[in-house]
Structure 1
Amino acid sequence: MSQNANPGAVLRGAVDLSSLRNRPQPTAPGAAPASAGASAPTGTAGLVRDATDETFGEILELSRTVPVVIDLWAEWCGPCKQLSPILESVITELAGRLVLVKVDVDANPQLAQAFRAQSIPMVVALVAGQPVPLFTGAVPEQQVREVFAQLLQLAAQNGVTGTLAVDDADAIDPDDETVEPTLPPLHAAAFAAIEEGDYDAAIAAYEQALVENPRDEDARAGLGQVRLLSRVTGLELEAARAAAAAAPTDVAAQFAVADLDIAGGHVDDAFGRLLDLFGALPEDERAPVRERLLELFGLIGDPDPRVIRARGRLASLLF
């Protein structure tokens, strides 16, 4: 991973969308080609839209301005029909801070393959063109809200804080006088340092933000992400896996592969590796592994089902 790696890559899966970025767009007979700088449609309808293999390049570009939630679904999928209204309701309430894009996996096999949609409904996000895994299956509305709140935090840490214009007055609280949020000074300093590849400076900025406000959850999440970026920079996956396979109880070797798995979106693999290591070590050598697990739990987010499962297994190993 290069020093200039996008911070959004911390939570993204191994998804390659480059082939969809510059795909030519279909043009109706007699119509002028769409301008590359055309603005996104306004109105509530613009917050929920469909995408195809051919039009997905537009969505990638939109995600550089406002975070995009991708709902991978199919007509025959019962859980999809349960989840979609929840997604649309929460997106509408957020009044342009997120956009929902629906992808019919049967009609768009290239997108289904790109996102590795082996089970649907599958919900992912795009932040500055980078995919971020969210969840699979029909989940409760409260969990959707929590995941979307975390997504907005991640997007802000990556400088994606735009809002899509909404014309429907019902979608916006008329008494809401909030303006588009700006990053606090220390957060802005951390983001600028990340853009320059200076992870030490970014870590220092987030740590200072936590000194000034220990309840700053955005700073805590940002700190976990930039620490991970710093650790995986320069690591080679195959070499790290070989070293870990040769030394199953070497803490540093197992940490390296777990970090790479988290950075690649293989969260269950990372947690499983560290929990196996925790169980294999003598009690007096377990503390660093537990600390690393807790750090990664915070990075992924406590409401995430993968974190809940891993916490349960950790508790069983402790007691």
Structure 2
Amino acid sequence: MVTIFNTETPDAGAGNGSIPVGDIIKDSDTNNFSTDVIDQSTKIPVVVDFWAPWCGPCKQLSPTLDKLAREYGGKIQLVKINVDENQELATQMRVQSIPMVVAFKDGQPVDGFAGALPESQLRQFFEKLTGSEGSPIEQALEKASMMIANGDTQNAAEIYSQILAQDPKNAASHAGVAKCLIEAEGIEKAQAYLKGLDADILNKEEVKSVLAAIDLEHASTDTEETDSLRQKLATNPDDPQLRYDLAIAFYGDGCSEEAINILVELVKTHKTWNEEAARAQLLKIFEALGHSDPITIEGRRKLSVVIFS
């Protein structure tokens, strides 16, 4: 079994550098600050969030802090202090504006910031604090992705399940489960799984990518074989439907670049054909491949040249 989180209660004084996942986030106060923050920071880094119920930016920051703390799976403790109920402590910590976040290691404050930072900067803050490249969840997602590429869908699915146990809305893990189902049990099982997800998860880029890939797979299944389409196109080179079908067939054969090149040329010569079907199919391929994929980036560049020329 592949395990990525510490779910066992450690022995007292074990100093194993992590805490049970159920204790990752906790509320504290002036009386317990020394134990919850100072003492605990000698074992693992502690991030203290000074907040108040009336503070709008606090409400923006808090969910992201919670999310990242859970991603680190017990490698970081997140402690929340309500400044309205602990004004003396807030004064001692020189809290002048909220939200204010202070990181502790070895009993001392080592870093901090004020205001609601975006998630990208918060990730950098956590990475600097732990000295790691990405959270355990990010590292686990990368490992699971490599497993899928190597055909090990069983262990990949196990990792995704562990992640979802900690972060039920983790879109990348839901997308990963769907990919495992496609490989192990077929498209229908993956579709059934995706249909059960909330709308906010279905709108995430990672899940939309899998949905686009499924749509393209269905389209390629309904298309003639590549060789047959090539022969027909040889006698009717300007037929937009044949060129479109050939692009779909190429994609189904795993030839994404060839499919993109045909569709880009079709946009150039028959832009409005079939309600701009070629452009719509290109966008679906880009989504299926992922926006950061080099093939997508080059394909978008070619499409832009055609559109704006």
The normalised TM-score by structure 1 is 0.41
Higher helix share goes to which structure? Answer: 2
**TM-score normalised by structure 2 residue count:** 0.42
Q: Which has the higher contact order (CA 8 A, sep 6+)?
A: 1
